Structure 1
Amino acid sequence: MTGHDENGDAGRPRGRRSTTLKIAGLTLAGLLVLGAGTTGWAYWHLDNNIKSVDIDNALGDDRPPKAVPTPSADASTEASPLPAGALNILVLGSDSRSGKENKALGGGSSSGARSDTAMVVHIDAGRTKATVVSIPRDTLVTRPSCPLTSGGSTAVAYNSMFNSAYSVGGAVCAVKTVESITHVRMDHYVEIDFSGFAKLVNALGGVTVTIDQDIDDHDSHLQLKAGTRLLDGKQALALARTRHGIGDGSDLGRIGLQQKLVTALLEQISSTNLFTDPGRLYTVAEAVTSSLTTDTGLDSLSELVELGRSLKGLSADDVKTVMMPVVTAPSDHNRVVAKEPAASRLWKSLR
């Protein structure tokens, strides 16, 4: 059985400080490299680290409508007013095994990848309130037909695990699947891979996390005693992937660990005065940008910095974290499906 709440928890504020830090994490790369770009070469190198996928061109017009743009409140005083409209960003943590470093950290095949972590970050018009919705990777969905870079398209797949979309069609199929089940347009896409996450933790000198119970997970190769622990990059990544060593082994339990880890990591970032240590600042910026994949609307330092500046009005009291309401799948007790009508109500509130 999966260890989910049969009643769901959509709309309930939870871990507001955690959520604020997650949203700050979306723009961390831009803010860090802004300080690191003291030379033309440094700026060029970090800017060119960022990989991108042209999702808009791949999906065309067969998508939910875009939100109506909202002018900035400061439009009359700013020469270049910041964007202030509602925004939806799909954030994925990829378990890609491609490349020597990812393969070693993933502990699996050198081919294929799935989205281990998926969050829809919705920022309200005015950009002073936000909601982060986690989608369990074990959710069974109807995966739509997705275009392939090699030509042609995938077939529609029924009762397919949500995270298989990334496996069969990459970022484009992940976005199309999320839009298909939510009917919400994803304005941007952000992905970070295994090696980048581990490098970031190491560049920060590790991350301190309090573990509530002993963990012994042979799949993620993690063994930890309960208590407060300083984790290096490889250990932190293993913790983010752990599911069988805690609770009932469900993906929903792993989501809780991931939230705890992200909070601890970003608190470490905020407590480390990177701007007084240019060497470490550059190392962190290198770790972030070298593992980052975005849509073509966020694939430059200037675009990331603009996004960060537009979110300056967000406060902890105006941010909430929820998980998509789910129930056990009738066809498989190890899987979940969206709980209706609660899930549809949640997604409608984000349009």
Structure 2
Amino acid sequence: MVRPPDNRADGTAPPVRSAAAARHTADAAVGPARHLGAARRTPKWLKITTGVIAVLLVGVIAFGAYWAIRLQGNITTAPLSAGSMKSENAVNDSTDRMQILILGSDTRDGKNSEYGNSNDSTGYGHSDVMMLMDISADNKRVNVISFPRDLLVDIPQCTDPKTHKVYPAQSGVMINSAMSEAGIGCAVDTVNKLTGLQIDHFMMADFNAVKELSNAVGGVQVCVSDAVYDPDSKLRLPKGTSTVQGEQALSFVRTRHAFGDGGDLGRIKAQQGFLSSLTRKIKDDGTLTNPSRMLGIADAITKNLTIDEGLASVPTLLTVANRLKNIDVGKVAFVATPTVPAESDPNRLQLAEPAASQLFTAMRNDVDLTDPTAKPSATATARATAKPTPSAAAPAYDKTLQPVTVANGSGVPARTQAIMQTLQGAGFTQVGQLTAQPVAKTAVYYGANFADVAADVAALLGVAPGQVLPAAGVAGVQVYLGADFANGAPTANAAPALPKDIVNQTAGDTVCQKANPELITR
């Protein structure tokens, strides 16, 4: 076929048409024949529907972006550590066992100025609350361990991340002061040193977090044994169950005198009772599966929250929240670190041994505190602290310089001298004795840098490696004799048992707080 000549002034060629279309008309300029069908018009209803969907999608995206930007903008961050090196790899926030240190700050800056002035808190402030939340890898249980603010501990050397000033290690100071000089990371390092764990994240909230969170959920039910009034915190409650929120909720968790004997342990139990009730309220109301409620709570929390950089994204926070939504409240265990009045100051507390070391060992081994006989998860072994083993070669230390004490809880006083003579005969000349409470199982405890000495002492006495435990309150090595060592060697491979009352309550328990008799009103 011969193409007609191109006579267009602009020199462009006409559109190329198919031969079929050209056959229906002799005039090439007419285009396709009309009976082949004009282009169909889009129905009006489809245009409207498409427009509505487009507007909705834009709205959803804009809403999500607004909240993501808002929540992200609320977040304040700080370093996870103040100098201590972490030997474990970073956890997978979705699937790994995770430990989060939860702190309440007593800082009086900004919105917190109504609770005092800057003179009431120094440096980075003190931790008004300190709890370690331990989430199992299978998301089936949570342990929440409370540390009394008056607990005397050793604080490691810490570096202020802002000024880079190095603060030397301290011994026998209150745990709530761990963050005051070098920041939150120093509190994390202190709890790591105390427990032998390696914390993955932290969350620190101020006074207003409790007020706004309790308002966001519509109040939290609490119970007290008697009508009580604390003039310091201004907490006033009638006997029985009440719903607290806002300022009253804050007074409930802050009061230091209203419960128990007016000390820190009564305060801890009240805080645990409040959190138990809050957990039930959130789960019963379906809050964790309700996006609108979750956003309100997230906004209330993040405005008053400081977290580590590894946790500092909205998706990561939602991942952690998602892990908690299906946990049985009966498997959320609240525990107070075992303590006794401190020998150096009866107004302060020290770790109660062997109960504290047993607790920390159970935590390192991922034991279910609500059912210690249950089999640990498969990931526990990988993350547990390695147990010391007896030295095969000559020890790389001078035995005559190693402090070893014998605490006799066997019920047989004569065993003290017998064990001391055995130790001295083996070359351990710095041997002393301590008074001890009766215990069932023998254990060897050791302080920092004495793991090798403890292993050798345990091997000498026939104590199984599983009963050789780190203990933050021990200087050197301590042999704690139990009833199993009353006459001969201790029971082989019998790990110390957890105290029967180690769990104060679970989130499924409704507990009435015992009012301080001195503050009961009529």
Q: Could you say which TM-score interval applies, normalised by the shorter chain?
A: 0.7 to 0.9
| CA distance in 1: counterparts of 2:132 and 2:206, whole angstroms | 17
Cα distance between partner residues in 2 of 1:291 and 1:146: 25
Which residue type is aligned with residue 296 of structure 1? Answer: E
1:36 and 1:123, CA in 2 relative to 1: closer, same or farther beyond 3 A?
farther
Superposition deviation, residue 183 in structure 1: 1.7
Task: Report Cα offsets for 1:208-237 as digits up to 9, x if no partner.
Answer: 322222322222122223222232311110
2: CA distance, partners of 1:169 / 1:200: 28
- State the match for 1:124 in structure 2: 136
Q: CA deviation at 1:323?
A: 1.6
Name segments (4+ residues, structure 1) moved above 6 Å. Answer: 67-70
C-alpha distance in 2, partners of 1:120/1:60? 18
1:66 equivalenced with 2:88 (yes/no): yes
What is the CA RMSD across the aligned residues, in angstroms?
Answer: 2.8
Would the aligned equivalents of 1:132 and 1:321 in 2 still touch at CA under 8 Å? yes
Q: Equivalent of 1:93, from 97, 100, 104?
A: 104
Does residue 249 (structure 1) correspond to residue 249 (structure 2)? The answer is no
Distance in 2, matches of 1:336 and 1:175, equals 20
Write out per-residue CA displacement over residues 65-124 of structure 1, whole angstroms, 9 at most, x where no aligned residue. 326968xxxxxxxxxxx742222211112222111x212146884643221211112233
CA contact (8 A) 1:132 1:320 kept: yes
Deviations 1:314-347 (A, max 9, x none): 3344443222111110111111101123212221
Gap change, CA 1:142 and 1:111, over 3 Å in 2: closer
Q: Which runs of 5+ in 1 are unaligned?
A: 1-34, 71-81
Deviation (angstroms), 1:294 = 1.1
Matched residues, number: 301
Equivalence map 1:1-351=2 (5 Å): 38-56=63-81, 58-59=82-83, 61=85, 63=86, 65-66=87-88, 83-99=94-110, 101-105=111-115, 109=119, 111-112=121-122, 113-148=125-160, 149-272=162-285, 278=292, 282-311=295-324, 314-351=327-364
How much does 1:170 deviate? 2.2
In structure 2, stretches of 5+ residues that fail to align are 1-59, 365-522
Please give the TM-score of this superposition, normalised by the length of structure 2: 0.53
**How far apart, CA to CA, are the structure 1 residues paired with 2:320 and 2:290?**
24
Asked which structure has the greater RCO (Cα within 8 Å, sep 6+), the reply is 1
1: CA distance between counterparts of 2:173 and 2:62? 44
Larger Rg: 2
Q: CA deviation at 1:238?
A: 0.7
Check the 8 A contact 2:159/2:166 in 1, yes or no.
yes
Does the CA-based 8 Å contact 2:224-2:238 persist in structure 1? yes
Shift in Å, 1:270? 3.3
SS across alignment from 2:143: strand
Contact 1:208 1:231 in 2 (8 A): yes
SS of the aligned residue for 1:196 comes to helix
Cα distance in structure 2, aligned partners of 1:258 and 1:205: 18
Native 8 Å contact 1:85 1:127 kept in 2: no
**1:243-282 deviation per Cα after TM superposition (whole angstroms, max 9, x unaligned):** 213332110000111111122233333344667794x654
Residues 133 and 155 of structure 1, relative CA distance in 2, 3 Å threshold: same
Distance 2:350 2:176 in 1: 13
1:24 corresponds in structure 2 to none
The one-letter code of the counterpart of 2:153 is V
Scaled by the length of structure 1, the TM-score of the pair is 0.77
Contact kept in structure 2, 1:106 and 1:194, CA below 8 Å: no
Aligned-residue sequence identity (percent) comes to 36
